[in-house]
Amino acid sequence: MNQKNYSLVIIILLFSFYLKAQPSKQLVNVIISPNHSDWTYKVDEQAVFSISVTRNNIPLKDINVNYKIEPDSGYRQIKTLDEGTFKLNANSKIKAPKIIEPGFLRCTATVVVDGKEYSSYTTIGFSPDKIKPTTTLPPDFENFWNKGKEELAAVAMQPVLTLMPERCTDKVDVYHVKLNNVKGKIYGILTTPKKAGKYPAILHVPGAGIRPYYGEVNEAAEGFVSFTIGIHGIPVNLEKSVYDDLRAGPLNNYQVFNLDDKENMYYRRVYLGCIRAVDFIESLEQFNGEDIGVTGGSQGGALSIIVAGLDKRIDYLAAFYPALSDMTGFLDGRAGGWPQIFVDDFTNKKEKIEVSKYYDVVNFARFVKAEGWYSWGYNDNVCSPASTFSAYNIISAKKELHVFHETQHWTFPEQREQRNTWLYNKLRQ
């Protein structure tokens, strides 16, 4: 494939991802507005929602609105606190029940217009900075992961770099990379500036799923060594159909493989593989030897915190809505983090609950020393805000949180721009 055709494929793939990640526009918009502009209240404070419905940006009236208010408990455990129906007018308001402990409430409103149903929701926080995790730190947590790092260090990295000429530009070289990991390999895409020099590095860790990767060519053109990894121990430059088959077959639901065995839980090799990726960056002649950042969203947000907690070579981290955070939340009557386990008899077993503690982001967050930039929304129904705040609140390192309240499990372009500006500036300073 020549450079022109390859660039066209990348543009199409990125545009398709953008369409899937962003919310779709509807003819009728149901708007639920809390009476605090930051969507945030103190515990036991009265919150009030205003409801409006527009079509073609014109307010509708005299239609029935069905509403319900419930705790933010993801999709799995819903306990309705208030519900009802009213006739919409210019002053339609709903008082939320008061809550007595830090957490979140969600108001959902539904209308029917011309026979079609429209719905939306708004989630508000009550003293979210006071939310504490439900998971606990195993007494041998540090020893467990130190042994894992020792095992990894005993494995020769033996990097294999394969130049990908069809992806290179006049300013950037692109390589497919294979590294030895514990129990297998780590694969990724390395992009480096062609201009001779020493550069800061950025490790990109992936969100959940099985897919090919293309690397951050634009980032390398900006003057960074950029390494994007996959986590499944398979090459990241194969045809998409290969990953589709793996996702539907042998890797389906990989996130809970061996959840009752801490030595062989799926993510053990993944977490150690992230450290191996840092080893690789450190070995590169183009790396300046000092400045490494790590970034990702969802599962990648989790891995960003985890690798920073495990590896002091990470200087900066930038995480969107970290998954795998406070996974035991459901056992305590509130939303847990993705993959939303501990909600049925299959996972609600003592040995699985105990093993989860060795892999929960909260327990790695306790050891993070890298300066961090974090961002998520209150409306996220995959990585609930209760779970992400559980991890964020326990981080003692210098940090900043940027809440984009209405976002669900997606980001605005402005969030990405803010992340890049922060991370690039920190690495260049």
Active site residues: 298, 380, 409
Q: Distances in Å between the alpha carbon of 375 and those of 322, 406, 409?
A: 9, 12, 11
Residue 26, Cβ neighbours under 10 Å: how many? 12
What is the C-alpha to C-alpha distance for residues 336 and 318, in angstroms, rounded to an integer?
21
User: Helix 141-153 vs helix 266-283: angle between axes, to the nearest 10 degrees?
Assistant: 50
Q: Smallest Cα–Cα separation from 260: which of 146, 341, 367, 150? A: 341
> Do residues 307 and 316 make contact, with C-beta atoms less than 8 angstroms apart?
no
**Kind and range of the H or E element at 354?**
helix 350-356
69 neighbors 11 (Cβ within 8 angstroms): no
Q: Nearest to residue 274, comparing CAs of 234, 302, 235, 298? A: 302
Residue 56: CB atoms within 10 Å:
8
DSSP state of 231: S
Q: Decide if 384 contacts 323 (C-beta within 8 A).
A: no
Q: % helix / strand / coil in the chain, to the nearest 5?
A: 30, 30, 40
Q: Is 104 helix (H, G, I), strand (E, B) or coil?
A: strand
| Partner residues linked to 187 by β-bridges | 178
Distances (CA, A) of 35 to 103, 224, 340, 401: 17, 44, 30, 22
72 near 29, Cβ under 8 Å? no
User: What's the Cα-to-Cα distance from 111 to each of 51, 61, 83, 156, rounded to whole Å?
Assistant: 11, 11, 14, 61
Q: What are phi and psi of 231, to 5 degrees?
A: -115, -5
Find out whether 173 and 216 touch, Cβ atoms under 8 Å.
no
Alpha-carbon distance 69 to 79, whole Å? 9
